[in-house]
Structure 1
Amino acid sequence: MTVRRHRRPLLASAALVVGAGLALTACGPENTDAAGGSTASAAAPVAATPSAAAPATGAPTAGAPATGAPSHSAPPKPSGASPSGGTKSDGGNAGAAARPCDIQNLSIQVTIRSGAPSQRVIEVHNTGASACSLSSSPAVDLGNSTSQDQSGNIRPVLASGTSRFPVAAGQKAYAVIDLDPSGATTGTAPGINELNVLVDQDGTNMPLANTRNFPLDNGVHVLNPKLGLYRSTVADAVASMTAAPK
């Protein structure tokens, strides 16, 4: 009986020691769940990572260019440009190339160039109140005024160029034709006594009915004539004629 009384306190002490150990285990930093996994890792916060919906700081968003990238806005207009495409200093010629001259506002004459008897100067004076344009050169042919058939008239070799020539209000345009560049006195075309001029050879702007006829001196020599483009001075018109192919 004495032995039993000493045993029970020992068993109770042992039970207290085991209980204390279990209590310490339960309070530890990592506990296991029923499946044997760690619940501490599930409770700990996960580091944030960039997603497609929220780009990283500093990255450009969709539809907006990155810093320094060019935008797609309309380019600025050139300095001095006017809505019609001319410039502020065009002298009133803006749009002249798109506005053909009216025959009613033109004065036309043909004269012998001083010092060059085989050359004729075609002068077109814009008497209108605004700038207008002519074709790059006049339409010219040479024939006999008494002939019923003008289909065989001689046409000069033309200098190269297609741009329309603007003429300011009150200003003149000149074109020069050389009837006989070689100066030949034999082998020339017989019976030529008329120079026919249509100052704008674009038939949609000026019909053939606006052709003007200018008489030539009797006995004039015509052989392989050459015609230059319209120019603002006679000297420049001569240079253009000289550059026409032979």
Structure 2
Amino acid sequence: MSTIRNKSVLLAATATTALALALGACGSDGSGTRSSAPETGGGAQSASPTASAAGTTGTTGAAGSSSARKSSSGSGTKAGSGSKAGSGSGSAGGGGNATSDSYAYRHPCPAGQLSVSMTTPADAAGRRVIAVHNNGASACGLSYYPQVYLDGANAQGGKTVKPLVPGGLGGAPAYPVYAGRTAYAVIDLDPSGATTGTVSGIDELNVLADGDHMADADTRNFPLGSGALVLKPKLGLYRSTIADAVASMKTADTSS
């Protein structure tokens, strides 16, 4: 009996010890888990702004990637616009744009694409305005000034007078004239206004719109009318307005 009781007490004590150990172990794990949770939570909270910022820059996170894709897409659209503008510039630079200066530089005006006319300003009887109109659908290039000479319409081997033109020219390879636009050049037959010493027998103005690329057969002949006085005439460069063409004519100082 005593032995049985002792065994019972021993078993009970062993069970109690085992239970205590088990409870101690459980308490330690739970405490570790609970204590780590706030740290993890705190870590998550402190990491959250970082993750959010990363998301804003699109470097991490699904939302960040989406944001980055959206931002990238927006930038792509703008870049695309830039590319489009760049393409336009490229086209102009490469001469592919039929409304650009560079296209005109690469494409001399065909005579058949132009109409050439001449008028006498009401306020300056000694001047003539040469107008070259582009009837085509694309820009084209002209020489800096028309090729002009004066002579007698009925003279056989008579006198020929060429005007002075502006000197020291350079820059663009041609004067661009756009579709539907007009280039003007002005010639003053007698800049000094002299009434004596003028060249006799001159009654015709001959105009070749582009002396650099057109054949002589494309020359247009315009009557000056009776009584025209010609003495050391001056011719200006092509310009987009008559006023600018007059200003250019006044600078003529070089033989054409």
Q: Same fold (TM over 0.5)?
A: yes
Could you list the runs of 5+ residues in structure 2 that have no partner in the other structure?
1-84
Q: Deviations over 1:173-202 (max 9, x none)?
A: 000000000000000000111000000011
Would you say the 8 A contact 2:91–2:97 is kept in 1?
A: no
Specify the alignment match of 1:153 in structure 2.
Answer: 160
CA distance in 1, matches of 2:97, 2:134: 20
Percent identity between the two aligned chains: 52
CA distance in 2, matches of 1:158, 1:220: 20
Report the alpha carbon displacement of residue 93 of structure 1 after superposing the two structures with TM: 3.4
Query: 196, 202, 206: which is aligned to 1:186?
Result: 196
Specify the alignment match of 1:129 in structure 2.
Answer: 137
Which letter maps to 1:174?
Y
Count of equivalent residues? 166
CA distance in 1, matches of 2:220, 2:96: 36
CA distance in 1, matches of 2:177, 2:115: 13
Larger Rg: 1
Q: Deviations over 1:73-96 (max 9, x none)?
A: xxxxxx843155269999533321
Pairs within 5 Å for 1:9-20:
none
User: Structure 1 89/200 Cα, relative in aligned 2: closer, same or farther at 3 Å?
Assistant: closer
Q: 2:232 is paired with a residue of what secondary structure? A: coil
Which letter maps to 1:168?
Y
CA distance in 2, matches of 1:83, 1:115: 44
Query: 70, 74, 93: which is aligned to 1:85?
Result: 93
Could you list the runs of 5+ residues in structure 1 that have no partner in the other structure?
1-78
Q: 1:104 is paired with a residue of what secondary structure? A: helix
Aligned-residue RMSD, C-alpha = 2.3
Pairs within 5 Å for 1:30-179:
80=86, 81-83=89-91, 85=93, 91-149=99-157, 152-160=159-167, 161-162=169-170, 163-179=173-189
Moved over 2 A (4+): 86-94, 160-163
Report the alpha carbon displacement of residue 172 of structure 1 after superposing the two structures with TM: 0.3
Specify the alignment match of 1:223 in structure 2.
Answer: 231
Q: Tell me the TM-score normalized by structure 1.
A: 0.63
Report the alpha carbon displacement of residue 142 of structure 1 after superposing the two structures with TM: 0.4
CA distance in 2, matches of 1:87, 1:144: 42
Q: 1:148 is paired with a residue of what secondary structure? A: coil
